[in-house]
Amino acid sequence: MAKEFEEENDRLQIIKPGKGKHVNMIGDILSIYLTKNETNGTFSILEDRIYPSGGPPPHIQTREFEGFYILEGELDFNIDGQKVTAKTGTVINIPPNVVHNFKNNTNNIVRMLVIISPAGLEKMFEEVGIEISDGDYDRNITKYSAPSIEEKKRLLEITKKYGVQILE
């Protein structure tokens, strides 16, 4: 017998390929599939498209576990001073309060699934980034660009609210 889904945040969710909320985050595209609203705050799921030379600066999340699964491509991670090259199929789990970052040092777009628990950090990406359409997502129009001084200031102000410390 199928479960009855009665509560607003206890509903079955099906997100079709290429759908979700797409956010340009300093040149990379995050597709937000499940948020705290859909999972009762337990986790969020995103897909990150990291363009050549893209990736975040070294940072620490003080509240969340962050899981990464490389769907396609290769990323260079720096995790608490340890360098790791993550190829397709690699899973990395980073607990709170661990310095980390990653960079795409290849000439290809890397696709990575990101699972965050507890959920909520996806709101920071929505606040910092610029929403783009499904069509722009499908066309791969974004290329990495280093953040301007104004973007860095804005990023630092917003990330503090979410318990994220940018170290660069």
Q: Does the pTM of the predicted model rise above 0.75?
A: yes
Return phi, psi of residue 62, to 5°: -95, -5
In b/e form, how buried is each residue of 136-149, taking b as 16+ CB within 10 angstroms? ebeeeebebeeeee
Enumerate the domain spans of the chain.
Answer: 19-166
* C-alpha 26 chain-centroid distance: 12
Tens-binned pLDDT, residue by residue, of the chain (168 aa): 333 444 555 578 888 887 889 888 877 889 999 999 999 999 999 999 999 999 999 999 999 999 999 999 999 999 999 999 999 999 999 999 999 999 999 999 999 999 999 999 999 999 888 888 766 666 655 555 666 778 778 888 898 999 999 987
Is domain 19-166 annotated with CATH 2.60.120.10? yes
- Could you give the CA distance from residue 57 to residue 40 in angstroms, rounded to a whole number? 30
